[in-house]
């Protein structure tokens, strides 16, 4: 078994009002069940970060990446499956009907567009890597402010 960390790409999708899109993971998911999360996932074999980012956005929302506003961060964590991951997260804009995401069946149960003042919601059911998704959100909003979007 490889000791290399799994690589992941994540998208903090921004709407025209400066809110960021979050979705709740299904209670049946192995990792982070019933937790709020950003769009993203593991890189497929042979895939680079940009390809994974584009694929994950379309798979999980039905939207299409229009442009990357900047990199939010690079996060290393160990999931409750004891596997190490490195996640590369980006602040992005997408094309599509932002009022009607097509959530990936069986993987996500609901979504919310959150303003910076609403991020406390992200702490619900978050036992593993306590605070990680909230920190990613805070850093996403900080980047959004710094680029004046």
SS (H, E, C) the chain: CCCCCEEEEEEEEECCCCCEEEEEECCCCCCCCCCEECEEEECCCCCCHHHHHHHHHHHHHCCEEEEEEEEEEEEEEECCCCCEEEEEEEEEEEECCCCCCCCCCCCEEEEEEECHHHHHHHHCCCCCCCCHHHHHHHHHHHHHHHCCC
All structural domains of the chain with their residue ranges:
6-146
Q: Check: CB of residue 136 under 8 Å from CB of residue 12.
A: yes
- What pLDDT score does 47 carry? 96
Check whether 140 has a pLDDT greater than 80.
yes
User: What's the confidence (pLDDT) of residue 131?
Assistant: 81
Q: What is the pLDDT of residue 46?
A: 95
Choose which CATH entry (3.40.630.30, 3.40.50.150, 3.90.79.10, 1.10.510.10) describes domain 6-146.
3.90.79.10
CA distances from 74 to 4, 17, 85, 138 (A): 16, 25, 10, 14
**Residues 7-66: pLDDT tens digits?**
999 999 999 999 999 999 999 988 888 889 999 999 999 999 999 999 999 999 999 999
Chain centroid, CA 60 distance in Å: 10
For residue 129, pLDDT beyond 60 = no
Going from the C-alpha of 30 to that of each of 19, 74, 123, 140, 147, the distances in angstroms are: 28, 23, 18, 26, 36
The pLDDT score that the predictor gives to residue 80 is 77
Question: How many Cβ atoms are within 10 Å of 82's Cβ, its own excluded?
Answer: 6
pLDDT, position 110: 95
Distance CA 141, CA 70 (A): 12
Residues 76-123: tens digit of each pLDDT: 988 878 889 999 999 999 999 999 999 998 999 999 999 999 998 898
Which tokens go with 146?
């710094």
């Amino acid at each position: 078994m490889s000791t290399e960390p799994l690589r992941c790409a994540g998208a903090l999708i921004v709407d025209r009002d400066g809110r960021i899109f979050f979705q709740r993971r299904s209670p049946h998911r192995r990792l982070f069940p019933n937790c709020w999360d950003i769009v993203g996932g593991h890189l497929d074999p042979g895939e680079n970060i940009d390809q994974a980012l584009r694929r994950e956005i379309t798979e999980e929302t039905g939207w299409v990446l229009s442009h990357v506003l900047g990199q939010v961060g690079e996060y290393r964590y160990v999931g409750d499956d004891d596997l190490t991951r490195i996640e590369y997260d980006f602040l992005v804009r997408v094309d599509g009907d932002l009022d009607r995401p097509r959530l990936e069946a069986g993987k996500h149960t609901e979504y919310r567009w959150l303003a910076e003042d609403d991020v406390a919601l992200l702490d619900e059911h978050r036992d593993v890597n306590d605070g990680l998704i909230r920190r990613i959100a805070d850093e996403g909003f900080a980047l959004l402010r710094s680029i004046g979007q």
